[in-house]
Chain A
């Protein structure tokens, strides 16, 4: 079964405040994604990887085309769906993990990780225990668990960001550069955590520049070039 079907997707930014400039970020993108598949999105900076991911999550409004997501309750076009429907899907099925952690003031590292879990898990202590386990796996020093992440290093914030995205085991995960700025050992932990999600049925779209991550993680690569799909490669493993 396909979890995602992208048909003739285009995105043009119309910048009124920049002399009406138009920027064509995505041109006629077509691809499908099977349930439980991990697709690696590759390409140079500026090739449209993040734009594509944000169109799927509806952070960007696509200019034309359709993005059919097979939700638990039926197919839905992410381009046209009502905002409230998207909010519901984001709560229950689709998680987006950006490259950078957007910190929440005065909330501890553990609670930042737990935020999505608190929605379903009413037992806060149980949720926190799960978060701590994950932060331990990711090698985040215990003395940081109750601290506020705003002052953390890039790598520390990144691990919190990844933990936060995967802890509630989303059905469909969009993840941008999950292993950038991490050492090899921590990279492996992150890769294993994502592979573990896949084992439980999660479909993953992952942006990465890192050959090692792509080799270990993805089933298939989509290579973007100037807003178009330049190549589709199957991984041999």
Chain B
């Protein structure tokens, strides 16, 4: 297959999130050049601004940057967890990419989320319902995307838990009784239950110990290879970015300061901040 520039899966343009009441100077007075995302005139906070990129089917895009750089805000807006301040996004499996998904009704957004996207949060409590069993959590996602057959739902749930190495006999236990790594793998099972073409991963290995981290990363790599899901991986950990992604956006103070092939960002960073970030790598 040769590359075709019209073949994108997700197109994002000028995505912006500002808290507070900005004025006309807010964007011009914030960002890496000022080393701040707080507008000096209005005290409004520019969580992220002017984020634009294209994601192709099966591509894995990394977003890297320090805490508060706005990287999570980007994926949370795309997954409709946060309302955008400005910008647009199009997803080709939805209305042939002809409609800005960020402007759709809540009902349409729920449809997109349940059928075309998956999200794995840093904290399993954000992605899982701790009142349900692990199997029930996966079933919830399947039911929301229109599956109703109980036998099939159970079969799919056990397949997914099997794939993510969660013991099947614990399918009816609540995630609260699981270890952190296991909770994360249940969350991944839930996120991919409806075979979404697009998966968001927000700091999914942060806080896990290294051997568990390796297991989760391993699982994500396998999903990439076997299912060809396109992913956006948010992480402050450059080793995670190096291992999982083809392309990377580097963010600072709410802006993208550099974007490029991941090996290029890691070996020949162009921006001062990327150079600092890479030179801090252990």
A residues lining the B interface (CB < 8 Å) = 13-17, 54, 58-61, 72-73, 82-89, 92, 104-107, 118-119
Contact = CB atoms under 8 A, between A and B. Distances in A.
B276 interface: yes
B41 interface: no
Interface of B: 1-3, 5, 54, 56, 59, 214-215, 217-218, 221, 225, 243, 246-247, 259-261, 263-264, 267-268, 270-272, 275-276, 279
Contacts of B246: 87
Contacts of A87: 3, 59, 246-247, 261
Given A83-B247, A87-B59, A106 B218 contact: yes
Nearest to A76: B3
B218 A83 contact: no
Contacts of A58: 261, 264
B59 A59 contact: no
A88 B270 contact: no
A16 B59 CA distance: 31
A40 to B, nearest CB: 23
Nearest to B214: A105
Given A59-B261, A59-B268, A88-B3, 15 more contacts: A14-B270, A17-B276, A54-B267, A59-B264, A60-B264, A61-B270, A72-B2, A83-B259, A83-B260, A84-B5, A84-B54, A86-B261, A87-B3, A92-B2, A105-B218
A37 B71 CA distance: 45
Nearest to A71: B2
A83 B272 CA distance: 21
B163 to A, nearest CB: 15
A106 B267 contact: no
Contact of B5 (A59, A60, A61, A82): A82
B246 to A, nearest CB: 5
A107 B52 CA distance: 35
A16 B263 contact: no
Contacts of A82: 3, 5
A54 B217 CA distance: 27
A84 B59 contact: yes
B56 A17 contact: no
Contact of A88 (B2, B214, B217, B276): B2
B240 to A, nearest CB: 11
A217 B261 CA distance: 31
B223 to A, nearest CB: 13
A118 B268 contact: no
27 contacts: A13-B268, A15-B275, A17-B272, A17-B276, A54-B267, A54-B268, A58-B261, A59-B268, A60-B268, A61-B260, A61-B264, A72-B2, A73-B2, A83-B247, A83-B259, A83-B260, A83-B261, A84-B3, A84-B5, A84-B59, A86-B261, A87-B246, A87-B247, A88-B1, A88-B2, A92-B1, A106-B214
B20 to A, nearest CB: 32
A16 B272 contact: yes
B268 A61 contact: yes
Contacts of B217: 105
A78 to B, nearest CB: 11
A107 B279 CA distance: 27
A232 B276 CA distance: 39
B177 to A, nearest CB: 26
A89 B261 CA distance: 13
Most buried by A among B54, B217, B264, B270: B264
A72 B177 CA distance: 55
Contacts of A105: 214, 217-218, 243
Contacts of B270: 14, 61
Contacts of A14: 270
Contacts of A119: 225
A22 to B, nearest CB: 13
Contacts of A73: 2
Given A84-B3, A84-B59, A106 B215 contact: yes
Contacts of A92: 1-2
A116 B259 CA distance: 25
A118 B246 CA distance: 17
4 closest pairs, A vs B, by CB?
A: A88-B3, A16-B272, A105-B214, A60-B268
Nearest to A85: B3
A13 B2 CA distance: 32
